[in-house]
Amino acid sequence: MLTKRQNLLETIQGGHPDRYVNCHEAFAFIIDPILTHIGGFAYTMKPGETVMNQWGVTVTFPKGCAGPLPIHSNGLAALKDITKWKETVRAPRVVYPPEVWETAKAQADAVDRREQFVAAFMAPGVFEKINYLMGMEPAMVAFYEEPEAMHELFDFMADWELAYAKELMKYIKPDLVFHHDDFGTQYSSFFSPQMFQEFFVPVYKKVYGYFKEQGCLIVHHSDSYVANLIPSMIEMGIDIHQGTIHTNNLPELVKTYGGQISFMGGIDNSIVDREDWTHESIAAQVKKICDEIPPKYFLPCTSMGGPDCSYPGVYEAVCEEIEKYNKKRFCIA
């Protein structure tokens, strides 16, 4: 039987996987000190808290919500004028002494890399950082009204991420990077393919290109409609799109782009992650998508950007049902 790591590689390389990859089983996530020092993130906050992160963004984690949200009302937006971003935006530090990295390094060193990938976790993404600073509506308007300033800010964010990437490689040497940046809503992308190509592709080729030069796989999370952006995402260097929701017509994406990129999703949190969830309803969703798509270039998974869920027990139940499906379909004892 293949290890979890081997099975994922066989899956995305179009080889001979001996079962479906089960959600995030092949990833050993390492939460690094740069991320925790910045703060204002799901792994650094508790429901009910409100904090200001190191970007100067006020972030709240409402009870009952899936994660923290930036606040921009009542004058709280950290960046109020895109043309003044150079005077306003101050990037958090990325260089820390070695002792600050001791815990993360020990966690990475403890991973059996024959079994799992050491996975760096980077969030929020380039665009998400900008809409965290400004708010979604002002950020979207800026693409049209101040494209030059927006290009400059995109480049600034990419350079900061590149410096961050070099520290990750120095201390934990990840095999894989799990990177967030949501590119759309449930039914449409935020950007036309032309705008996406102009603004996003150059900066992500820079960041992802560095990681790929170091031998890392790239997993990009965007639990949204992205079907019209896939050619550009391939050009960026993405190996796996994670969070592929049903509105993308996942079977058609695998058929069209399998061999150039793989897709991890098909089990939408919006469908299964609910207060009245049952094993039966989750099993039905697992069976539906896995019956439709063979394991090459497809990894069944929830759409949330990590091994988590909104309602207790949902993620674990999805993993259990995929395991049951694997045992039955592939005759695993």
pLDDT tens digits, 79-115: 999 999 999 999 999 999 999 999 999 999 999 999 9
Does the pLDDT at position 299 exceed 90?
yes
pLDDT in tens, 128-169: 999 999 999 999 999 999 999 999 999 999 999 999 999 999
Query: What pLDDT, on a 0 to 100 scale, did the predictor assign at position 39?
Result: 96
pLDDT of 65 over the 90 cut: no
> What is the pLDDT at residue 37?
97
- Pick from 53-67, 227-241, 265-279: least confident: 53-67
Residues 6+ apart with CB under 8 A from 154: 126, 130, 199, 200, 203
Q: Which is nearest to 158 in space by CA: 183, 127, 137? A: 127
Q: How far apart are CA 237 and CA 166, in angstroms?
A: 18
For the chain, what are the domain ranges?
Answer: 4-46+80-329
Burial zone of 322 (CB within 10 Å; 0-12 exposed, 13-18 middle, 19+ buried)? buried
Q: How large is the average pLDDT for residues 211-235?
A: 99
173-189 pLDDT, tens digit per residue, is 999 999 999 999 999 99
pLDDT surpassing 90 at residue 244: yes
The pLDDT value recorded for residue 6 is 99
> In this predicted structure, what is the pLDDT of residue 43?
84
Model-level pTM?
0.97
In this predicted structure, what is the pLDDT of residue 42?
86
Q: Is residue 107 helix, strand or coil?
A: helix
Nearest to 296 by CA among 98, 14, 65, 31: 14
For residues 239-260, average pLDDT: 99
Q: What is the CATH number of domain 4-46+80-329?
A: 3.20.20.210
Query: What pLDDT, on a 0 to 100 scale, did the predictor assign at position 66?
Result: 79
- What percentage of residues in the chain have a pLDDT greater than 90? 96
Amino acid making up residue 64: G
pLDDT value of position 285? 98
Each residue of 9-38: pLDDT tens digit?
999 999 999 999 999 999 999 999 999 999
Quick one: tokens of 305? 């950007």
